[in-house]
Amino acid sequence: MGRACSKYNDQDEFLYDPKLLENLDWAFVLQFLNPPITNEQPGEEWLLVRPLKLSDFDRGYLQILSQLTNVGNVSKANFESQFQKMRNTGGHYITVIEDTKINKIIGSASLITEFKFIHECALRGRLEDVVVNNTYRGKQLGKLIVLTVTLLSKKLGCYKMSLDCKDALIPYYKSLGYKSEPGNSNSMMNRFEKEDPS
Protein backbone atom coordinates (compact mmCIF):
# COMPACT_ATOMS: atom_id res chain seq x y z
CA MET A 1 0.00 0.00 0.00
CA GLY A 2 1.33 3.45 -0.92
CA ARG A 3 2.37 6.10 1.58
CA ALA A 4 -0.69 8.22 0.80
CA CYS A 5 -3.13 5.36 1.41
CA SER A 6 -1.77 4.86 4.94
CA LYS A 7 -3.25 8.27 5.83
CA TYR A 8 -6.83 7.17 5.12
CA ASN A 9 -9.03 6.04 7.96
CA ASP A 10 -12.14 3.90 8.19
CA GLN A 11 -14.35 6.92 8.91
CA ASP A 12 -13.68 8.51 5.51
CA GLU A 13 -16.50 8.45 2.98
CA PHE A 14 -14.83 8.78 -0.40
CA LEU A 15 -16.45 9.59 -3.72
CA TYR A 16 -14.63 6.58 -5.20
CA ASP A 17 -12.35 3.82 -3.93
CA PRO A 18 -8.94 5.33 -3.03
CA LYS A 19 -7.25 2.06 -4.00
CA LEU A 20 -7.85 3.06 -7.63
CA LEU A 21 -5.08 5.64 -7.16
CA GLU A 22 -2.53 2.96 -6.23
CA ASN A 23 0.06 1.81 -8.77
CA LEU A 24 -0.79 4.26 -11.54
CA ASP A 25 1.46 3.95 -14.60
CA TRP A 26 3.69 6.99 -13.96
CA ALA A 27 6.31 5.69 -16.42
CA PHE A 28 3.79 6.75 -19.10
CA VAL A 29 4.10 10.47 -18.14
CA LEU A 30 7.19 11.05 -15.97
CA GLN A 31 8.90 12.91 -18.83
CA PHE A 32 6.43 15.77 -18.21
CA LEU A 33 7.59 16.33 -14.60
CA ASN A 34 10.91 17.79 -13.48
CA PRO A 35 11.72 16.78 -10.80
CA PRO A 36 9.57 13.63 -11.05
CA ILE A 37 6.66 13.46 -8.59
CA THR A 38 3.67 11.11 -8.36
CA ASN A 39 0.34 11.02 -6.59
CA GLU A 40 1.93 8.81 -3.90
CA GLN A 41 5.08 10.95 -3.66
CA PRO A 42 3.81 14.50 -4.40
CA GLY A 43 7.00 16.31 -3.42
CA GLU A 44 6.00 17.50 0.07
CA GLU A 45 5.22 14.93 2.76
CA TRP A 46 2.20 16.89 4.02
CA LEU A 47 0.49 16.87 0.62
CA LEU A 48 -2.02 14.08 0.03
CA VAL A 49 -3.60 13.21 -3.34
CA ARG A 50 -6.87 11.38 -2.83
CA PRO A 51 -10.52 11.11 -3.86
CA LEU A 52 -12.95 13.81 -2.75
CA LYS A 53 -14.50 13.06 0.65
CA LEU A 54 -17.94 13.91 2.01
CA SER A 55 -16.23 15.95 4.76
CA ASP A 56 -14.34 18.12 2.24
CA PHE A 57 -17.05 20.76 2.41
CA ASP A 58 -15.36 21.74 5.69
CA ARG A 59 -11.89 21.64 4.11
CA GLY A 60 -12.65 24.45 1.66
CA TYR A 61 -13.39 22.38 -1.44
CA LEU A 62 -15.94 24.90 -2.76
CA GLN A 63 -13.55 27.78 -2.04
CA ILE A 64 -10.89 26.18 -4.24
CA LEU A 65 -13.47 25.70 -7.01
CA SER A 66 -14.38 29.38 -6.70
CA GLN A 67 -10.86 30.25 -7.91
CA LEU A 68 -11.88 28.55 -11.17
CA THR A 69 -15.47 29.66 -11.71
CA ASN A 70 -18.65 30.88 -10.03
CA VAL A 71 -19.80 28.26 -7.52
CA GLY A 72 -22.84 30.08 -6.20
CA ASN A 73 -24.52 29.57 -2.85
CA VAL A 74 -24.07 25.87 -1.98
CA SER A 75 -25.04 24.82 1.53
CA LYS A 76 -23.46 21.86 3.32
CA ALA A 77 -26.72 19.93 2.79
CA ASN A 78 -26.62 20.72 -0.96
CA PHE A 79 -23.00 19.58 -1.14
CA GLU A 80 -23.68 16.33 0.70
CA SER A 81 -26.74 15.58 -1.45
CA GLN A 82 -24.82 16.18 -4.69
CA PHE A 83 -21.89 14.11 -3.40
CA GLN A 84 -24.19 11.14 -2.70
CA LYS A 85 -25.82 11.45 -6.14
CA MET A 86 -22.39 11.40 -7.80
CA ARG A 87 -21.28 8.48 -5.66
CA ASN A 88 -24.42 6.46 -6.34
CA THR A 89 -24.39 7.18 -10.08
CA GLY A 90 -20.71 6.32 -10.49
CA GLY A 91 -18.44 7.64 -13.20
CA HIS A 92 -17.37 10.68 -11.15
CA TYR A 93 -13.73 10.66 -10.05
CA ILE A 94 -13.09 14.01 -8.38
CA THR A 95 -9.51 13.92 -7.13
CA VAL A 96 -8.09 16.48 -4.73
CA ILE A 97 -4.82 17.56 -3.18
CA GLU A 98 -5.02 18.19 0.56
CA ASP A 99 -2.49 20.14 2.58
CA THR A 100 -2.67 18.00 5.72
CA LYS A 101 -0.75 20.59 7.75
CA ILE A 102 -3.69 22.99 7.52
CA ASN A 103 -6.46 20.48 6.71
CA LYS A 104 -7.41 22.29 3.48
CA ILE A 105 -8.05 21.28 -0.13
CA ILE A 106 -5.55 23.12 -2.32
CA GLY A 107 -6.11 21.48 -5.70
CA SER A 108 -8.69 19.47 -7.62
CA ALA A 109 -9.52 17.90 -10.97
CA SER A 110 -12.53 15.91 -12.14
CA LEU A 111 -12.54 12.83 -14.33
CA ILE A 112 -16.01 12.03 -15.70
CA THR A 113 -16.39 8.72 -17.53
CA GLU A 114 -18.91 7.97 -20.24
CA PHE A 115 -19.98 4.60 -21.61
CA LYS A 116 -19.83 4.36 -25.41
CA PHE A 117 -20.91 1.84 -28.04
CA ILE A 118 -18.01 2.82 -30.28
CA HIS A 119 -14.55 1.27 -29.94
CA GLU A 120 -16.11 -2.06 -28.85
CA CYS A 121 -18.29 -0.55 -26.09
CA ALA A 122 -15.42 1.48 -24.70
CA LEU A 123 -15.21 4.02 -21.90
CA ARG A 124 -14.28 7.64 -22.57
CA GLY A 125 -12.92 10.06 -19.99
CA ARG A 126 -13.39 13.84 -19.75
CA LEU A 127 -11.15 16.12 -17.73
CA GLU A 128 -12.93 19.04 -16.08
CA ASP A 129 -12.62 21.61 -13.28
CA VAL A 130 -8.83 21.67 -12.90
CA VAL A 131 -7.68 24.14 -10.25
CA VAL A 132 -4.78 24.65 -7.84
CA ASN A 133 -4.79 27.27 -5.11
CA ASN A 134 -2.83 30.23 -6.46
CA THR A 135 -0.57 30.34 -3.40
CA TYR A 136 0.69 26.80 -4.20
CA ARG A 137 1.61 27.42 -7.83
CA GLY A 138 5.16 26.68 -8.99
CA LYS A 139 5.24 23.23 -7.32
CA GLN A 140 4.00 21.27 -10.40
CA LEU A 141 0.73 20.54 -8.56
CA GLY A 142 -1.38 21.45 -11.61
CA LYS A 143 0.61 18.95 -13.67
CA LEU A 144 0.36 16.42 -10.84
CA ILE A 145 -3.43 16.57 -10.55
CA VAL A 146 -3.98 16.54 -14.35
CA LEU A 147 -1.61 13.60 -14.84
CA THR A 148 -3.09 11.71 -11.87
CA VAL A 149 -6.60 11.78 -13.32
CA THR A 150 -5.21 11.10 -16.81
CA LEU A 151 -3.50 7.95 -15.52
CA LEU A 152 -6.62 7.04 -13.57
CA SER A 153 -8.65 7.20 -16.79
CA LYS A 154 -6.08 4.94 -18.45
CA LYS A 155 -6.26 2.50 -15.53
CA LEU A 156 -10.07 2.46 -15.73
CA GLY A 157 -9.79 1.40 -19.39
CA CYS A 158 -10.75 4.64 -21.13
CA TYR A 159 -9.74 4.64 -24.78
CA LYS A 160 -9.18 8.39 -24.58
CA MET A 161 -9.28 11.35 -22.23
CA SER A 162 -10.54 14.65 -23.62
CA LEU A 163 -10.94 18.22 -22.41
CA ASP A 164 -12.00 21.65 -23.61
CA CYS A 165 -9.82 24.64 -22.76
CA LYS A 166 -9.25 28.30 -23.55
CA ASP A 167 -6.66 29.35 -26.13
CA ALA A 168 -4.18 30.38 -23.43
CA LEU A 169 -4.14 26.87 -21.95
CA ILE A 170 -3.53 24.94 -25.20
CA PRO A 171 0.30 25.04 -24.81
CA TYR A 172 0.00 23.90 -21.17
CA TYR A 173 -2.04 20.80 -22.05
CA LYS A 174 0.22 20.09 -25.04
CA SER A 175 3.13 20.08 -22.58
CA LEU A 176 1.34 17.22 -20.76
CA GLY A 177 0.90 15.05 -23.84
CA TYR A 178 -2.54 16.22 -25.00
CA LYS A 179 -3.16 16.93 -28.68
CA SER A 180 -5.73 19.20 -30.32
CA GLU A 181 -8.64 17.44 -32.01
CA PRO A 182 -8.64 17.95 -35.80
CA GLY A 183 -10.61 21.09 -36.66
CA ASN A 184 -10.94 22.32 -33.07
CA SER A 185 -7.75 23.35 -31.29
CA ASN A 186 -9.64 24.04 -28.04
CA SER A 187 -10.83 20.44 -27.83
CA MET A 188 -7.86 18.33 -26.76
CA MET A 189 -7.36 14.65 -26.12
CA ASN A 190 -4.96 11.96 -25.03
CA ARG A 191 -5.49 8.53 -26.62
CA PHE A 192 -4.47 5.33 -24.88
CA GLU A 193 -3.37 2.61 -27.24
CA LYS A 194 -4.57 -0.91 -26.50
CA GLU A 195 -1.73 -3.21 -25.60
CA ASP A 196 -0.98 -5.92 -28.14
CA PRO A 197 -2.06 -9.21 -26.50
CA SER A 198 0.59 -11.20 -28.42
> Long-range contacts of range 33-37, CB-CB < 8 Å, 24 or more positions apart?
33/140, 33/143, 33/144, 33/147, 37/140, 37/144
Residue 173 within any structural domain of the chain:
no
Residue 184 within any structural domain of the chain:
no
Residue 190 within any structural domain of the chain:
no
Q: What is the pLDDT of residues 92-148, one digit of tens each?
A: 999 999 999 999 999 999 999 999 998 888 899 999 999 999 999 889 999 999 999
Count of domains observed in the chain: 1
Q: What is the pLDDT of residues 143-193, one digit of tens each?
A: 999 999 999 999 999 999 999 999 999 999 999 999 998 888 889 999 987
Structural domain for 153, as ranges:
4-163
Residue 92 within any structural domain of the chain:
yes
Domain harbouring 79, CATH code: 3.40.630.30
Residue 195 within any structural domain of the chain:
no
Compare 11 and 42 and report the one with higher pLDDT: 42
Strands (E), 69-198: 92-99, 104-115, 123-132, 158-164, 179-181, 184-191
Residue 187 within any structural domain of the chain:
no
Residue 142 within any structural domain of the chain:
yes
Question: What's CA 48's distance to the chain center, in Å?
Answer: 13
Residue 13 within any structural domain of the chain:
yes
pLDDT at 194: 63
